[in-house]
């Protein structure tokens, strides 16, 4: 299987601060990659470059063989780390918004997921709890038939029941024709979802590999490896 | 099912299914849950469940029918072999521990016989 995403010598500076430093990373087709690191390690900067919200200072990013731009945006479905819907909307409006914006939006899948999340179309965005908002955002993002899903901290700050529903929805909607990038620092809750993991520290990858191989080689869970790396 | 941290997840899934097969909870010719169903239940990546099924197939414990799913073997001998292998593992752990208590072989056998009588 080929690489859907190729990142070569990627750097991003904010004035004097290096947010990403010479980072190399590939994502294979059909794989789920976990990008793991504490706050401030560069996860969100990396994601913003992949989604075209920021431009890199140096280096190359190819998604499905293309530089980040109109084409890559059409095949990438992105869950930001905060709510992206307007307060005046109902869930119905949010669906219409997505249908208008994205030709790959699958309404049937969306309605099934909404049902699974126990959300109703007449609910108002302002009336939703944090967990419900997260579930709605994820529903919209997963309902696109994208080649690459990028989920930035999908379970941060939600209660355990919502967390399980979110994990379930991710698993149910995973298919081998697309890839997924999930960033998190909640490694224990999410590690069983990953095919591959990359540990991000101070803007660089300090360890990456197949999750099962790392468990085997180190005799440790990914969570333990994470703690070992970042508690130093 | 709770995952132990130290082992690859696919091996833990294999062991879990092996225990179900040896205990008879899943019997010959039973259909295993679909990869999607099982991964959703266990909250693990479907590729990991797929890998566990593939490895079990390589050990001849399960077989796939095209378009139908994965089934436990119909071959009694294979299941008997799995039981015996599991028994060997249990016993070798046991022997390791009981030898640590400094009993000789005859004493160990006597203790086992007594305990088995109690169970009955």
For residues B53 and B93, membership in a common domain is answered with no
Q: Cα–Cα distance between A34 and A152 in angstroms, integer? A: 10
Beta bridge partners of B8: none
Confidence of residue A1 (pLDDT cuts 50, 70, 90): low
The CB-based long-range contact list for A122-129 (8 Å cut-off, 24+ gap) reads: A122/A90, A122/A91, A122/A92, A123/A90, A123/A91, A124/A89, A124/A90, A124/A91, A125/A83, A125/A85, A125/A86, A125/A87, A125/A88, A125/A89, A125/A90, A125/A91, A125/A94, A126/A87
Q: How far is A172 from chain B (nearest CA, A)?
A: 7
What is the rounded average pLDDT of the residues A194-201?
96
% of chain B residues with pLDDT over 70: 99
- Identify all chain B residues contacting A32, using CB atoms and an 8 Å cutoff: 45, 47
For residues B19 and B51, membership in a common domain is answered with yes
Residue A174: which of B7, B9, B46 has the nearest Cβ?
B46
What is the rounded average pLDDT of the residues A8-23?
92
% of chain A residues with pLDDT over 70: 100
Residue linked to tokens 């099962």: A212
Q: Are A35 and A181 in contact (CB under 8 A)?
A: yes
For residues B98 and B44, membership in a common domain is answered with no
For residues B110 and B97, membership in a common domain is answered with yes
Find, in chain A, the residue whose alpha carbon is nearest to that of B52: A212
What is the rounded average pLDDT of the residues A189-213?
94
For residues B62 and B84, membership in a common domain is answered with no
What is the rounded average pLDDT of the residues A136-161?
92
The complex's ipTM works out to: 0.79
- Measure CA B49 to chain center: 15
Q: Which domains does chain A have, with CATH numbers?
A: 3-230 (3.40.50.300)
CATH number of the domain encompassing residue B46: 1.10.10.10
For residues B83 and B28, membership in a common domain is answered with no
Q: Cα–Cα distance between A231 and B1 in angstroms, integer? A: 29
Q: How far is A221 from chain B (nearest CA, A)?
A: 5
Beta bridge partners of A63: A5, A66
For residues B63 and B84, membership in a common domain is answered with no
pLDDT of residue B72: 94
What is the end-to-end Cα distance of chain A in Å, rounded? 36
For residues B32 and B59, membership in a common domain is answered with yes
Residue A5 three-state SS: strand
For residues B81 and B101, membership in a common domain is answered with yes
pLDDT of residue B99: 85
For residues B14 and B70, membership in a common domain is answered with yes
- Measure CA A21 to chain center: 21
Q: Which residues of B touch A (CB under 8 A)?
A: 3, 5-10, 36, 39-40, 42-48, 51
Confidence of residue B2 (pLDDT cuts 50, 70, 90): confident
pLDDT in tens, A42-73: 999 999 999 999 999 999 999 999 999 999 99
What is the rounded average pLDDT of the residues B56-78?
92
pLDDT of residue B3: 77
For residues B82 and B60, membership in a common domain is answered with no
Q: Say yes or no to pLDDT of B100 above 90.
A: no
pLDDT of residue A19: 92
User: Is residue B35 in a domain?
Assistant: yes
Q: Say yes or no to pLDDT of A221 above 80.
A: yes
Q: Say yes or no to pLDDT of A89 above 90.
A: yes
User: Is residue B3 in a domain?
Assistant: no
pLDDT of residue B27: 85
| Parent domain of B53 | 9-74
| Count of the separate structural domains present in chain B | 2
Confidence of residue B51 (pLDDT cuts 50, 70, 90): very high
What mean pLDDT, rounded, does chain A reach?
A: 92
Q: Say yes or no to pLDDT of A165 above 80.
A: yes
Q: Say yes or no to pLDDT of B105 above 90.
A: no
For residues B21 and B61, membership in a common domain is answered with yes
């Amino acid at each position: 299987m080929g690489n859907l995403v190729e990142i070569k010598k990627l750097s991003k500076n904010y004035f004097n601060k290096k947010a990403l430093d010479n980072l190399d990373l590939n994502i294979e087709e059909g794989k789920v990659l976990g990008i793991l690191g504490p706050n401030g390690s560069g996860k969100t900067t990396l994601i913003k470059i992949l989604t075209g919200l920021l431009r890199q200072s140096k280096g190359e990013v190819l998604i499905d063989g293309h530089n980040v731009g109109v084409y890559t945006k059409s095949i990438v479905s992105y869950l930001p780390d905060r709510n992206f819907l307007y307060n005046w909307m109902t869930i119905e409006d949010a669906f219409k918004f997505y249908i208008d914006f994205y030709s790959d939006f699958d309404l049937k899948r969306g309605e099934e997921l909404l049902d699974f999340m126990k959300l109703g179309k007449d609910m108002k965005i302002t009336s939703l709890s944090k967990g419900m908002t997260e579930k709605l955002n994820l529903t919209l993002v997963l309902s696109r038939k994208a080649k690459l899903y990028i989920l930035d901290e999908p379970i941060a700050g939600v209660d355990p029941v919502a967390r399980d529903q979110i994990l379930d929805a991710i698993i149910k909607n995973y298919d081998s024709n697309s890839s997924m990038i999930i960033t998190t620092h909640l490694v224990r809750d999410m590690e069983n979802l990953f095919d591959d993991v990359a540990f991000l520290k101070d803007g660089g990858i300090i360890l990456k590999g197949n999750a099962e191989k790392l468990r085997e080689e180190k005799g440790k869970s990914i969570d333990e490896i994470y703690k070992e790396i970042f508690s130093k | 099912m709770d995952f132990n941290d130290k082992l690859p997840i696919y091996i833990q899934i294999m062991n879990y299914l092996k225990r179900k097969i040896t205990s008879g909870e899943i019997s010959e010719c039973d259909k295993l849950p679909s990869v999607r169903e099982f991964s959703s239940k266990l909250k693990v990546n479907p590729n990991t469940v797929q890998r566990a099924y593939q490895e079990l197939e390589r050990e001849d414990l399960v077989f796939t029918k095209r378009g139908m799913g994965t089934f436990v073997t119909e071959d009694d001998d294979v299941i008997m072999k799995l039981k015996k292998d599991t028994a060997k593992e249990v016993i070798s752990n046991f022997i390791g521990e009981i030898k640590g208590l400094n009993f000789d072989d005859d004493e160990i056998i006597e203790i086992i016989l007594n305990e088995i009588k109690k169970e009955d």
